[in-house]
Amino acid sequence: MPFAQIYLIEGRTTEQKRAVIEKVTQALQEAVGAPKENVRVWITEVPKENWGIAGVSVKDLGR
């Protein structure tokens, strides 16, 4: 059973997250031949102040 864990900075819409789940499921189905019923996708949304790039939080970078 393939399991994909995706980390995203908070703020994506429900539609965007649905698209991620659909496309990641399709990619795993194609890449490893797993039935889509066996694919699991877990999206974790991270607050902007908890995500850093080059020593600075994304929130402080204004992203």
Quickly list DSSP for the chain: --EEEEEEES---HHHHHHHHHHHHHHHHHHH---GGG-EEEEEEE-GGG-EETTEEHHHHT-
Q: Parse the chain into domains and list their residue ranges.
A: 3-61
Which residues form the catalytic set? 2
Q: Is the pLDDT of residue 63 over 90?
A: no
d(CA 6, CA 31): 17
Q: Mind listing the pLDDT tens digit for each residue in 15-41?
A: 999 999 999 999 999 999 999 999 999
Superfamily of domain 3-61: Macrophage Migration Inhibitory Factor (3.30.429.10)
Is the pTM higher than 0.75? yes
Mean local confidence (pLDDT), 2-16: 97
* 49 pLDDT tier (thresholds 50, 70, 90): very high
